[in-house]
Amino acid sequence: MNRPEGKTLSELDRPNSYIGKTVPRPNLDRLLQGRGLYVSDIELPRMAHVVFVRSPHAHARVISIDTQGAKKKPGVVAVVTGEELAAVITPWVGVLSHMKGLKSAPQRAIATERVCWQGEAVVAVVASSRAAAEDAADCVTVEYEELEPVTDMRTALDPATPVIHASLGDNLAFERTFEAGAVDAAFAEADEVAEAEFVFGRHTGVTLEPRSVVADWNAAEERLTIYQGTQAPHMVQNIAALHLGLEEAQVRVVCKDVGGSFGIKVHIYADEMATYALSKHLKRPIKYVADRIESFNTDIHARDHRCKARIGVKRDGTITAFEIDDLTGIGPYSMYPRTSAIEANQVVNLVGGPYVTPNYRARARVVFQNKNVMCQYRAVGHPIACSITEGLVDLAAGRIGMDPVEIRRRNLFADDAYPCASAAGLRFELLSHHASLDRLLKMMNYDALRAEQAALRAKNIHRGIGIASFIEVTNPSAAFYGVGGAKISSQDGVAIRLDAQGAVVCQTSITEQGQGSESLTAQIVGSVLGVSMEKVRVILGDTDQTPYGGGTWASRGAGIGGEAALQAAKILRKNILDVAAAILQSTPAELDIANNAVVNANDGSPRIELRELARIVYFRPDTLPPGIQPELMATRHYVPRQYPFAFTNGVQASWLEVDTDTGFVKLLKHWVVEDCGTIINPQLVDEQIRGGVVQGLGAALFEKCIYDERGQLTNANMADYLVPMSGEMPDIDVGHVVSPTSESELGAKGAGEAGTAGAAAAVANAVNDALKPFGAVITEIPLTPQLILTALKRI
Amino acid sequence: MTAPQAIALQVNGERVEAHVLPRINLADFLREHLKLTGTHVGCEHGVCGACTVRVNGEIVRSCLMLAVQANEAVVETIEGLSDSGEISDLQEAFRARNALQCGYCTPAMLITAQELLKVEAEPDRDQIREHLSGNYCRCTGYQAIVDAVEATAKARKNKAPRNRDAGRAP
């Protein structure tokens, strides 16, 4: 592990440290043997299943609902309308006070008078099995009066377009403008100004396990237990309690194995709220598992942006200014409780972020439309900002005839410029753009690749190289949600205790969806305490058992939850050594813990096994000296305070081939260098990055929710909505530069978004690089064969 | 024909007799009737591959097969393949390489990979990618899975010169 010069050895540099080591994640055999417990696997006594009758229209008035036929079907427990459920659960409005001017309309668990997107639930049918509920759902008759849908974000604000929520006055959910430096002067002094409209396909997370929830209201205990695959259990607890009229103490959220999340499962959906309410209403456990069509129609969508953007550049490569005008359509409601303004806000924050130019003007508008809701999905806003920024930089380089690497070298923040701030006001503690770029060029052998490209062009083989530098928001403080009034914790807590056999039980408020939260916690605790990892059992995902905290999202688990684990383990270590000193008639300073035993600090010779120490403490405290009260449990919480976000940086490169006859793109290789500070487990970091890259590659080439002009989603299945499969994906080489944050002792920043942040930008730049001989430039994703052939004027 | 039908089959070496509705697919039968929840349901229309099981030695998507079609068949799921030890080396390679994150695709991915390794002792990376291309994984980006399958193939080849012995537990 590279630490900055002069930093003293810390708890992490102990001889038996797991920090910086690749070790397998604990408890993987459970998943490898099919013995996990996903919510879709859970069955409870008296459990009934709910399915939802959903609107076939994008916008319609509900005239009448006839549930009589459905109620007579075998196995039916209840058929419940929105009106009936409104007595159990209150509506919500997805706004945050720090998103100035953000507005939205009240949303209900089940629609009442009006439906606002195709797929909005209208009636809940509860039955003894899902099949019985589906049979009965077919017998519900809903009469609709179709209303004109608002589908095109470009005309959503036109006076002639209907206003979706009359009470809001217009279809504008949120607008932000920003200006820094002297933008007009900067464009005036530029030798070249390049501009383009960047268009991004609306896509979605496609978690392999659909959203699932089992809600169990125990009327005798007056307590609701929610089993849900969520990234933020305490947030779910707060929201469920708030809208069901309960105290938080009356709600327990349990999160076992989660079949993929990626931000899809960090929100609270209307059908989940309905399921909580139905359980309370019917006084029995209710299970809801979305089917795949429901997933496409109701899991949040993301990234549907159109952005007009321009860049000014001088002949010497100096970028003089960036300017963007971004437009996005978020569906009929701002999502709850994180809101649907964050993505556009992030785009404004992040465009131009790697570069020194102080001149930046931005406008972002967020409009309502009658499509499924959009909200935060992995790398929120990053891929858009990165594609715009890096697309513009390549356009500028093309205008002045400069190599894409060279123009970046001339404009990236220098590695010795920190601390500093971007034009948008983002504060950077320590980044490594140049070191990362150098590393990348070495890994990909850039000059040789350019030579190969030129040689192949002579043979009419069109390959392209695309580079994309990026910054990533990680370790968010309360600045993300807390300051806006959302009860979404930005701090995390870890409680650690030594059990009666000298093993360690660790409860953490971060959650696991496969990233390795359990592993990194055990690695940190094992390292600091001096116990082997397999002696550390990590408990997460249960609001009754873990400290209060935010969970795992926005690349915060390692940096925030990891630091809490480090600090809690330090306290427990001190407490153990205090007891050991008393038992051994020594002093804590003379002792250490290594390999599950208290040892002499000077020569490492064993003094007492932790197992024996625990035996004495728990069963023979009478033998301890008077006045000693051992505390073999310690709890610590952590939240970053100096910086609102710990920014990371990185750079990606794509090498691909475009078939100019068919328009198909073959990805040949992908490289990433990123800097997430202290690396706890290199393998886990690399796999986070690879997985993230492939999600970005899907966005670049395949993924798009295709709506027709009536607001109908036309490809809501996995055969028509294309996701990356193994056959089309390249091998991805990952390298690192390590610039730890000084704000925490651990020094870790996040890595969860890095791959997704820059992958699409690298691919788009590579495709345009390949098409350079044809004079074609494409600034739209996904880069479908049709789009490429159109650009080539072949169709 | 909507009345329950009697079926008898062998599942993970055990004789199973049941009455099932004709419309119940094999995935739901395994999960809901036999509580073999290691078979996962991802798309229910035969695209994602998460419900892959072995029927009479061939891998099938259990969401596309009716339970009544499995009458008199020999069915093997991840639970059976784990207990028999047939894929223990492959599972260990997945573990060592972190070839799974959320784990939801993993049982089917293992079963699909094992099928390749049974017919092709030394598949190259493209062959592995091609063979797994019907199994969707959103977490890993596939590379770690390809690495784990490749490593298992090499280890089996080194251990047992004959291809036929490759399926045995180490």
Per-residue model confidence as pLDDT tens digits over A55-76? 999 999 999 999 999 999 999 9
Span A447-484, pLDDT tens digits? 999 999 999 999 999 999 999 999 999 999 999 999 99
Cβ–Cβ below 8 Å for B50 and A38: no
| Contact call for A209 and B102, based on CB within 8 A | yes
User: Does the beta-carbon distance from B94 to A258 stay under 8 Å?
Assistant: no
Do A286 and A422 belong to one domain?
A: no
Residue A454: Cβ-neighbour burial (10 angstroms; 0-12, 13-18, 19+) = exposed
**Each residue of A404-432: pLDDT tens digit?**
999 999 999 999 999 999 999 999 999 99
Report the Cα–Cα distance between both ends of chain A, in Å, rounded.
53
Check whether residue B32 and residue B73 sit in a common domain: yes
Q: Chain B contacts of A208, Cβ < 8 Å?
A: 40, 42, 48, 50, 102, 104-105, 136-138
Token pair, residue A319, equals 């970028």
> Which of B48, B104, B133, B135 is the best mutation test for A, with the most CBs of A within 10 A?
B104
CA distance B168 to chain A (A): 17
B129 touches chain A (CB under 8 A): yes
Residue A252 is assigned to a structural domain of this protein: yes
* Residue A96 within any structural domain of the chain: yes
Is B92 found in the same domain as B65?
A: no
Domain check: are A383 and A432 in the same one?
Answer: yes
Q: Within this chain, do residues A18 and A118 fall inside the same structural domain, yes or no? A: no
The answer to whether residue A231 sits within a structural domain is: yes
Share in percent of chain B as helix, strand, coil (round to 5): 40, 15, 40
> Residue B169: what pLDDT?
44
* Boundary (domain end) residue, out of A585, A619, A638: A638
Which residue of chain A is at minimal alpha-carbon distance from B82? Answer: A33
pLDDT of residue A89: 98
In a domain, B170, yes or no: no
pLDDT in tens, A240-261: 999 999 999 999 999 999 999 9
The answer to whether residue B169 is domain-embedded is no
> Would an 8 Å CB–CB cutoff place B93 in contact with chain A?
no
Per-residue tokens: A146? 């179709």
Determine, yes or no, domain membership for B168.
no
Residues B77 and B108 in one domain: no
C-alpha distances out from residue A613 to A475, A534, A620, Å: 37, 19, 10
Number of domains in chain A: 3
Reported as a single tens digit per residue, the pLDDT across A366-405 is 999 999 999 999 999 999 999 999 999 999 999 999 999 9
pLDDT tens digit sequence for A141-150: 999 999 999 9
CATH code at position B15: 3.10.20.30
CATH number of the domain encompassing residue A273: 3.90.1170.50
The answer to whether the Cβ–Cβ distance between B140 and A291 falls below 8 Å is no
Is A127 in the same domain as A78?
yes
Q: How far is B37 from chain A (nearest CA, A)?
A: 6
**CB contact B132 to A (< 8 Å):** yes
Question: Which B positions 29-48 lie with beta carbon below 8 A of chain A?
Answer: 31, 36-45, 47-48
pLDDT at A383: 98
Same domain for B92 and B123, yes or no, is: yes
Please identify, among A246, A273, A298, the residue that sits at the C-terminal boundary of a domain: A298
A609 and A670 belong to one structural domain: no
Mean pLDDT on A673-683: 97
Same domain, A610 and A731: no
Note the ipTM here.
Answer: 0.97
* Residue B10 in domain: yes
Residue B106 lies in a domain: yes
Out of B81, B102, B119, pick the residue that ends a domain: B81
- A684 pLDDT band, cuts 50/70/90, is very high
Indicate whether A52 belongs to any domain: yes
Whether residue B14 sits in one domain with residue B76? yes
Examine residue A339 and state whether it is found in any structural domain, yes or no.
Answer: no
Range of the domain at A413: 379-472+645-791
Contacts of B36 in chain A (CB under 8 A): 34
Last residue in a domain, options A591, A610, A638: A638
Given B46, B66, B81, which residue is the final one in a domain?
B81
Residues A133 and A236 in one domain: yes
The reported pLDDT for the residue numbered B2 is: 87
Name the domain count of chain B.
Answer: 2
Alpha-carbon torsion angle A388, A435, A750, A643, nearest 10: -90
Are A29 and A44 found together in one domain? no
Q: Considering only the beta carbons, identify the residue of B100, B138, B141 that sits closest to A690.
A: B141
Of B79, B82, B141, the CB nearest to A691: B141
Contacts of A683 in chain B (CB under 8 A): 97-98
| Domain membership of residue B155 as a residue range | 87-163
B120 inside 8 A of chain A by CB: no
Q: Is residue B21 part of a domain?
A: yes
Q: A687: which chain B residues are within 8 Å (Cβ-Cβ)?
A: 98, 101, 140-141, 144
Record: contact A36-B145, CB cut-off 8 A: no
Q: Let me know whether A70 and A23 are in one domain.
A: no
Determine the residue of chain A that is closest to B134 in CA distance. A725
Nearest CB to B101; choose among A205, A292, A687: A687
What average pLDDT does the segment A532-552 reach?
97
In a domain, A484, yes or no: no
Instruction: List the single residue in B with minimal CA-CA distance to A37.
Output: B37
End position of a domain, from candidates B81, B109, B141 = B81
- Distances A476 to A299, A473, A512 between C-alpha atoms, Å: 24, 7, 18
Domain assignment present for A216 = yes
Q: B50 and B66: one domain?
A: yes
Structure tokens at B106: 């993993």
Specify the pLDDT at position A7: 45
CB B72 within 8 A of CB A240: no
Would you call B140 and A690 a contact, using CB atoms and an 8 Å cutoff?
yes
Residues sharing a CB contact under 8 Å with residue A401, sequence separation 6 or more, in sequence order? none
Domain presence at residue A167: no
Looking at the structure, tell me whether residues A662 and A691 fall in a common domain: yes
B130 contact A CB<8A = yes
Strands A319-329 and A360-367, sheet pairing: parallel
Cβ contact B45–A205 (<8 Å): no
- Judge if B98 and B155 occupy the same domain: yes
For residues B150 and B91, membership in a common domain is answered with yes
Nearest Cα of chain A lies from the Cα of B72 at a distance, in angstroms, of 24
For residue A470, list its beta bridge partners. Answer: A650
- Residues B69, B20 share a domain: yes
Task: Give A718→chain B minimum CA distance, Å.
Answer: 6
Give the C-alpha distances (Å, rounded to integers) separating A297 from A56, A136, A259.
11, 21, 19
Rounded-to-integer distance, Cα A608 and Cα A278, Å: 56
- What CATH number should be reported for the domain holding residue A675? 3.30.365.10
CB pair distance less than 8 Å for B103 and A514? yes
Give which of A761, A786, A696 is closest to A395, Cα–Cα. Answer: A761
* Interface A:B, Cβ pairs < 8 A: 177
Task: Check whether residue B24 and residue B72 sit in a common domain.
Answer: yes
The verdict on A90 and A143 lying in the same domain is yes
The low-confidence residues of chain B, meaning pLDDT below 70, are 1, 161-170
Q: What is the pLDDT averaged over residues A109-133?
A: 98
B13 & B71 share domain = yes
Residue A541 is predicted with a pLDDT of 97
pLDDT for res A10: 64
CB contact under 8 A, A28 and B102: no
Q: Are residues A31 and A46 in the same domain?
A: no
CA distances (Å), origin A493, targets A255, A457, A511, A531, A547: 17, 57, 12, 21, 5
Q: What is the pLDDT of residue B162?
A: 53
CATH number of the domain at B92, please: 1.10.150.120
B65 and B132 belong to one structural domain: no
Chain A residue with minimum CA distance to B36: A34
User: In a mutagenesis test of the A interface, which of B142, B145, B152 is the best target, namely the one with the most A β-carbons within 10 Å?
Assistant: B142
